[in-house]
Amino acid sequence: MYQRCSGLLLHVTSLPGPHGIGDLGDEAFAFARMLEHANQHIWQVLPLGPAGAGNSPYDSRSSFAGNPLMINLHELVRDGLLDPDDVPATTRFSRSTVEFGRVRNWKRKRLESAFERFQLGTNSPLHSEYEAFVSASGDWLNDFALYQALKDAHNSRPWYRWPYGIRRFDRDEVERWRRSVSRQIEYYRFEQFLFDLQWKRLKRYANSLGIAIMGDVPIYVALDSADVWGNQEQFLLDEDSRPSVQAGVPPDLFSADGQLWGNPVYDWDRMAADDYSWWRSRIARTFDLTDIVRVDHFRGFAAGWQVPAGASTARTGEWIPGPGRALFDSLAKHIGELPIIVEDLGVITPDVEALRDDLGYPGMKVLQFAFDRDPKNPYLPHNAVPVSMVYTGTHDNDTTSGWYQSLAEADRVYARRYARGRDETIHWDMLRLAWSSVSVLACAPVQDVIGLDGDARMNVPGIARGNWSWRLDSLDPLTRRAAALRDLTELYGRVNAPVAHAAGDVDD
């Protein structure tokens, strides 16, 4: 399915722009043009949903909704929903860091103004587009908008602390509340319409340049989400709507107690009974927004580490079989063969490798894991397999420059020797290694293209605060490297579209 090509990783919120956060406006289109100039055919983003705890895109309020902070306000002026004076050309927000709380409050006021103007009109083409979007979005949009409105009505408390009737999704009680918060429901539908409208414009433009958008599906969802609230029967919850078990990972060399993630665990037997309908809807929506999908924590589909809800560490967990191939066969039967990449990092057992290989999905090879001075290390390029996607690093890693600076001297010597590189060019030397490898797909975070140090790191796993806020203050450094990246891409034969069909075919 895949053809030899390459791309860059940059989340939308990390784009430059005047309003405190990267969004779906002119800078996003400019980034797509830069990718085309550099002969890159993949733009990889993180999950697109509205972020929850710690502003993490992996702790979203919905697996189906989009993040309203990505809505571009200048586009709303062009669509007649705001006046030019409503959108200042410059603001006092940081240009290099997302100040999520300030941005959220500032942008919400302007989105409310756009909503009020939208409600006053009836004949705008946007209204027919809005009605079509609402009609096509089905239950996920209605449940998400109601969930958001109910959170507002209950002082942002999580749904499992709401009164019993709406907590348990009692039909009569839910309908009563639906009537009482109807304006807020309509507002949250409107937000999602704007996100969908602007995202689809950007995606069509990127596709027209030969660029495929690569999305991301976390295996687990947040407990405080419309996903769990509206589908409680699909999760292992107790009578009080709390998880009876939680997801995590067992103790290993990096964590003596393992990791407690706190996510609710799927009732795989219940999901199998209706042929994985929730998962099918989730994946279909993801492919409505993107062209390729990276599935996070793929090993959980073979077996997941489940820990009792009240446990203080992950030591007391156990491996519980996942759905295995049955889930992916259901997706193929109902949606078609899908271009999927699987995150298979960490301690991976033979059953996980067998599932990955049986499905034919490329796994991930991260160069930062390669240089322990063992020539048999599976992440070294000479040990790579063609059906894989090689990365210099991911959103969970330090930048390549920051990683290299943190290595012991002996490991730095080994890395320089292997890459035939130098201290000051190590970020580019590693990128060259990735592009020259036999892996069919190659990707690098934009930080590694321009050689940023550890201050530009996106996420430190296990740290709850201070992540996800890094952003570019300008596209200029990337633009200056585009010709060199294009040359490298052509040199190593990565000039194809990533999949045999044209980008965008899946979502038609």
**Could you tell me where the DSSP H helices lie in 38-181?**
73-78, 100-120, 125-153, 164-167, 171-180
Q: Using an 8 Å Cβ cutoff, are 270 and 193 in contact?
A: no
Dihedral of the alpha carbons of 80, 150, 13, 443, in degrees to the nearest 10: -120
User: Token match 């007649």: residue?
Assistant: 80
In tens, the pLDDT along 296-322 reads 999 999 999 999 998 999 999 999 999
CA distances from 102 to 19, 21, 61, 76, 114 (A): 10, 10, 19, 20, 19
CB atoms within 10 A of CB 253: 6
For residues 252 and 423, which has the higher predicted lDDT (pLDDT)?
Answer: 423
Find the helix packing angle between 125-153 and 100-120, rounded to 10°. 130
Per-residue pLDDT averaged across 89-107, rounded? 93
Q: Which residues are catalytic?
A: 296, 343, 396
- The two tokens of residue 51 are 């972020």
pLDDT per residue as tens digits for the range 324-365: 999 999 999 999 999 999 999 987 899 999 999 999 999 999
Residue 124 pLDDT = 78
Question: Which has the higher per-residue pLDDT, 258 or 442?
Answer: 442
Average pLDDT over the chain, rounded to an integer: 95
Q: Between β-strands 441-445 and 5-9, what pairing exists: parallel, antiparallel or unpaired?
A: parallel
Reported as a single tens digit per residue, the pLDDT across 86-96 is 998 888 999 99
Residue 162 has pLDDT above 90, yes or no: yes
What is the layout of strands, in order, in the sheet containing 363-366?
340-342, 292-295, 212-217, 42-44, 5-9, 441-445, 388-391, 363-366
What token pair was written down for 282? 């989730």
Contact call for residues 396 and 344 (beta carbons, < 8 A): no
Q: What is the CA radius of gyration of the chain?
A: 23
pLDDT above 90 coverage of the chain, percent: 90
- Distance, CA of 345 to chain centre: 17
Classify 260 as helix, strand or coil. Answer: strand
98 with 471: CB under 8 angstroms? yes
The tally of CA atoms less than 13 A away on the side-chain side of residue 403 is 26
Q: Determine the 3-state secondary structure of 42 from DSSP.
A: strand
- How large is the average pLDDT for residues 130-146? 95
Residue 318 · residue 305 · CB < 8 Å: yes
Q: Class assignment of domain 5-507?
A: alpha beta
Mean pLDDT of 152-162: 97
User: What per-residue string of b and e applies to 367-400 under the rule 16 or more CB within 10 Å gives b?
Assistant: bbbbbeeeeeeebbbeebeebbbbbbbbbbbbbb
